Structures are given as C-alpha cells and as structure tokens.
Structure 1
Amino acid sequence: METPSIRIARPADQAALGELDRAVWSPLHAVVPAPQPPYDPFFDSTHRPEHYLVAEGEQGVIDGYLRLVRPTPLACNAHVRQIQGLAVAGHARGRGVGRALLRAACDEARRQGARRITLRVLGHNAPARALYEAEGFTVEGVLPGEFFLEGGYVDDVLMGRAL
C-alpha cells in the first residue's frame, strides 16, 4: 500500500472538495442535514484552503481531506490544534488515507508550534474512534446524548493527545 501524497489545499481544490464532502455525508459522522442544492462553497471566510490537508491519489484525484484549526482565538489556547473534519472518498477507504491524514495533521500541528491536538467524534462512529485510538488519541470526555440524530440520542466524544 503506497502512502498517499498529503499537501495543503489550494483554492483550485474547492469544487473537488465540495463534491467529496457531499459524497461522504453520513449520519454516522454528520450533525447537520444532508447537503442539498444549491450547494454552499466549500471554502469561505472561516474555512480557508490553508486549514485543510488534502490526500492526493493517482492523477491528482483527491482521496480525502482533514481540517486542522485552532479551537479558539484565545492566546491561552494557541498551543492546541483541533481536527474539525476528516473525510475519505469511498474508493480510497481501507488504503491508509485517513491514517496518513491524521499523521500529517500531527506533523503540521507541531510545525505550527502546537503541543496538543484534539477532536470530537460521535459516539456511534466506531470505525473513526478505532482509527483515532490507534493513532494515540484517548477519550478525554463524553457529552452524553448531546445530539438527537435519526430518532436517537448520540454522545459527543472528546478525544485528544499530546504532540
């Protein structure tokens, strides 16, 4: 299995990232309704290209992305980065794309001077939780029944790790 090429997103990736985001939408990880046309732009003033790591496969096809940002604008929290979205295209699942994006996010967070990285994951998303745990993230808190999705209450699981 070849390690995917990971890079910072470019403005020209907007259409492909939007398409990928819509294709992978699932109640397993999304707390917002399924996207409907007309679609909002993928990038906006708070979701800028430099916030995204992109996994690029053969012929430049985008196989996945990860959003890495500061969790708050507070100076006292500047040492933390948060993963706020991870998506892998169906054709690329099981090929190490998610793992490569997580490892690249840790490297990028360190490069930015961070000492910690955190994320939130829905309690019922067992595949994502297993991947995060395999990459050194531990459960640091649980907000029980935080979301009501598809007729049931779902926990919001807070995970993190030192860098």
Structure 2
Amino acid sequence: MATPAKSVNDSSFFDRFAEKTSKYAGSTGVFVGAFTVVLLWAATGPVFHYSETWQLVINTGTTIITFLMVFLIQRAQNKDSLAIHLKLNELIAATKGASNRLINAQDFSEKEIRLIHDFYCLLAEKAKEDNDLGETHSVEEAEDNHHEKLAAHRA
C-alpha cells in the first residue's frame, strides 16, 4: 500500500512548538513580564545585600534564556528567509524580461554575487546618464557596456 504524500500543512511537533514559542516570545505580554522580572530582581537587591548569589540568579536565568532563544530565532529567520526567496523566485520566474539567472541567487558564491552587483551598479549608472526615470536597461546591456569599457581600457 502506498504511503500518502505529506501535506504542506503537516508539521512536526518541534515545528509547531518553535513557531508558537517564537510568536509568544515576541509578544508584548512576554516583554512586559520579562521587564517586570528584572524590576523585581532589582528591587530585591537591598534585601539580599546585592550578594553574588543575587547577581548569579539573574545572570544564569538570562544566559539560559538567551542561549535557547538564539537557536529559536535563527530557525524562524531561516524559515522566513526561505519563504522570501521562494516568493522572489516566483516573481522573477513570472516576470517577462526578468533574468532567470537570478533565481536561487542565494546559492551563488560571494564572487558571483559581487559580479552581479557590479552589473546592477552599471545599470544604475546608465540610468543616471539617461536622466529618464522611466528608461530601463537589462543586465545584458550593462554587461556589454562593461565589456566595452574593459576593451577601451586595454587599448
């Protein structure tokens, strides 16, 4: 018997836990609660004579929470980043005249990204020269312009 395909909405326990926790952690109520804990801790300073144990309580608590939240936040950021890449890829794929070479640009090497960045800088320069905000240019035009400049410099 064939195994049913996993639904897009199916997610693991950890996926659901991480999503709910990160939404909850970013809420106003959690911020107010954390701020209140810090105020209460500060207010108890005189009672505990600002002892090392009193300081250790807040240091340990905040360190543990920060350590765990870093991973949770990174996970949420990775998911958001992937979703944005997918949306941009869809726009590139659906837009006539857009360069499909830029689909999955996040997978390019830093050298490749810098090269493409240079081409877009050339496009910006061409647009400035034209003094026409409605004029558009392609990456290919920028590349041709770049090659012409290189040839002129070599001559």
Larger relative contact order, structure 1 or 2 (CA cutoff 8 Å, min sep 6):
1
Output the TM-score relative to the length of structure 1.
0.22
Output the TM-score relative to the length of structure 2.
0.23
Whose Rg is larger? 2
The structure whose residues are more often helix, as a share, is 2
The structure whose residues are more often strand, as a share, is 1
